[in-house]
């Protein structure tokens, strides 16, 4: 679910939800860590994901 964020070296994915982008990390065992929730107008390239 979500699309891959290619600017990150890790398996970071982004899920679009309304005006927000939920970034999460898919771990090898299948667990998921939520990295952050960003407003769609915010430039997430400033953050180290």
Cα–Cα separations (whole angstroms), residue 33 to 11, 41, 45, 48: 11, 23, 19, 15
CB 20 within 8 A of CB 40: yes
User: What is the reported pLDDT for 43?
Assistant: 85
Average pLDDT (23-48) is 89
This prediction's pTM: 0.83
Q: What is the spatial distance between Cα 22 and Cα 13, in angstroms, rounded to a whole number?
A: 8
User: Smallest Cα–Cα separation from 9: which of 37, 41, 49?
Assistant: 49
Angle at 21 between CA 5 and CA 11, to 5 degrees: 25
User: What is the reported pLDDT for 32?
Assistant: 95
């Amino acid at each position: 679910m979500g699309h891959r964020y290619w600017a990150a070296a890790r398996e970071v994915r982004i899920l679009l939800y309304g005006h927000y982008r939920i970034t999460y990390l898919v771990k090898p065992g299948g667990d998921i860590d939520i990295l952050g929730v960003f407003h769609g107008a915010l430039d997430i390239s400033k953050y180290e994901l």
